């Protein structure tokens, strides 16, 4: 059986950076599951058909990182049939040897409830907005409003809402450097390995 590290959390919490670092350190495969929803939203047309037709090549587009793609993703992510269409891809990815790190919103709760390690990475709204604004070269106040709207939609939807799995370790990165956040996540993995 492969080893699975599930990392969930709101936008710009640091979960992607941590997921990449853990995957590199342990030689595991890494999937940023947000890209599945971003690519589905970016395809346009009927989102359920778009999700069913998604290929790995669709995940490789630079324009998927934009704030607009994030908003579109969170709107189509609330549709149960869209989420259902993306489950197999994630399960196949997670089953790869020697292990996989998946980051998203519902990995520990829905996609990989039996993951050996579950982290819920979070940070204050202000810190997350400042990080994302610096990344995108955008206005922090505008980014803050967009993040809050997206988090609200992701947390309030009926299907697979953003929330920590009861057995997840909560990691608040508000006051941590990137290096310290990665070290804290790695310490958790080492504890459970």
What tokens does 125 get?
A: 């709204």
**According to the 3-state scheme, what is the secondary structure of 101-165?**
EEEECCHHHHHCCCCCEEEEEECCHHHHHHHHHHHHCCCHHHHHHHHHHHHHHHHHCCCCCCCCC
Task: Show the site string, 143-172: x = touches ligand C5P by CB under 6 A, - = not.
Answer: -------x---x------------------
C-alpha neighbours within 13 Å on the C-beta side of residue 166: 0
Ligand-binding annotation for 10, yes or no, is yes
Tell me: does residue 47 bind ligand C5P (CB under 6 A).
Answer: no
Specify the residue, 39 or 169, whose C-beta has the smaller distance to ligand C5P: 39
Stretch that binds ligand C5P, among 22-30, 99-107, 133-141, 176-184 (CB under 6 A): 99-107
Shortest distance, position 190 Cβ to ligand C5P, whole Å: 25
Task: Show the site string, 3-42: x = touches ligand C5P by CB under 6 A, - = not.
Answer: --------x---------------------xx--xx----
Strand-strand pairing, 117-122 and 169-172? parallel
Ligand-binding annotation for 12, yes or no, is yes
**Count of residues of this chain found to bind ligand C5P when the rule CB under 6 A is applied:** 15
The Cβ of residue 178 has, within 10 Å, a number of other Cβ atoms equal to 13
Tell me: does residue 120 bind ligand C5P (CB under 6 A).
Answer: no
Per the rule left: phi > 0, alpha: psi between -120 and 50, beta: everything else, 5 is beta
Task: Show the site string, 54-83: x = touches ligand C5P by CB under 6 A, - = not.
Answer: ----------------x--xx--x------
Q: What angle do CA 116, 118, 119 make, to 5 degrees?
A: 150
Judge contact between 17 and 176, C-beta under 8 A. Answer: no
Give the separation between CA 192 and CA 115, rounded to whole angstroms: 11
Shortest distance, position 186 Cβ to ligand C5P, whole Å: 21
Q: List binding-site positions for ATP.
A: 9-17
Q: List binding-site positions.
A: 9-17
Binding site for ligand C5P (CB under 6 A): 11, 33-34, 37-38, 70, 73-74, 77, 104-107, 150, 154
């Amino acid at each position: 059986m492969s080893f699975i590290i599930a990392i969930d959390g709101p936008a710009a919490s640091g979960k992607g950076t941590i997921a990449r670092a853990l995957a590199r350190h342990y030689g595991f495969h890494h999937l940023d599951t947000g890209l599945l929803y971003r690519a589905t939203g970016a395809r346009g047309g009927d989102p359920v058909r778009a999700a069913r037709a998604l290929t790995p090549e669709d995940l490789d587009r630079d324009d998927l990182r934009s704030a607009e793609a994030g908003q579109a993703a969170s709107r189509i992510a609330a549709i149960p049939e869209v989420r259902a269409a993306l489950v197999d891809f994630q399960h196949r990815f997670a089953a790869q040897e020697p292990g996989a790190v998946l980051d998203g919103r519902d990995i520990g709760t829905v996609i990989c409830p039996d993951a050996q390690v579950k982290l819920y990475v979070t940070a204050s709204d202000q810190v997350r907005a400042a990080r994302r604004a610096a990344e995108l070269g955008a206005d922090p106040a505008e980014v803050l409003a967009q993040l809050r709207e997206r988090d609200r939609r992701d947390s309030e939807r009926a299907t697979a809402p953003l929330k920590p799995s009861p057995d997840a370790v909560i990691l608040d990165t508000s006051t941590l450097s990137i290096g310290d956040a990665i070290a804290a996540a790695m310490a958790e993995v080492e504890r459970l390995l």
